[in-house]
Amino acid sequence: MVTSDALDALVRLCPPPVDPPPVRDWAEAEHALGTPLPTDYKQLVETYGDGVFDETVWLLVPGSAHPRFDLCAQTTERIDILESLWEDGEEKPDGLLESGARIVPWAFDGGSGAFLYWLVRPGQHPDEWTVLYNEGQGPLWEAHDMGCLAFLLAVLTGTAETAYFGYLYEVLKPAEHHFATAGQVLGPPAR
């Protein structure tokens, strides 16, 4: 697998699980979502799997054994929730005003309930998608013109130009970064 500089930096900063995560069926996930997924996201999932970075950023993955962390299930749920809010008068972020634009969630902040999305624009290659942060409990959105892997690395190193992730820096103040799989944190999935 070809890795990016950002993935190499993330692996050095925050070692992945010793046991490789399950292989994902990318064709099935992309079919279910109706769009290809970014290369950096696939590398991130293939390296780490579902779980949480620094007790804060939970990665959504297709086919997760834990439904709350399943990319496809969360995409449907988040779209339904946001469509309802927008119908009730909450403003859409500027990028979604473009005809055919939509969002797909790829991670969430377990402490605040905020979500990280991609802004999927018509005709735009997935590797060029913008990261959108939504505070989760309110109407504020923040756009970051970078891929998910670069954004995650910036968040963990404290270099992201964001007003959020205060819990990570102000409360946890990690001296070392860590990743825990969903199974390590939640135990085996309910059957």
The pLDDT tens digits of the residues spanning 85-144 come to 888 888 888 888 888 999 999 999 887 788 999 999 999 999 999 999 998 767 888 889
Total H helices, total E strands in the chain: 7, 7
The answer on pLDDT for 167 being more than 50 is: yes
**pLDDT above 90 covers what percent of the chain?**
50
- pTM, to two decimals: 0.90
Mean pLDDT value of segment 36-58: 94
Q: How many CB atoms lie within 10 A of CB 33?
A: 17
pLDDT of residue 1: 36
Structure confidence at residue 59 as a pLDDT band (50, 70, 90): very high
Contact by Cβ (8 Å): 107, 58: yes
Average pLDDT of the chain, as a whole number:
87
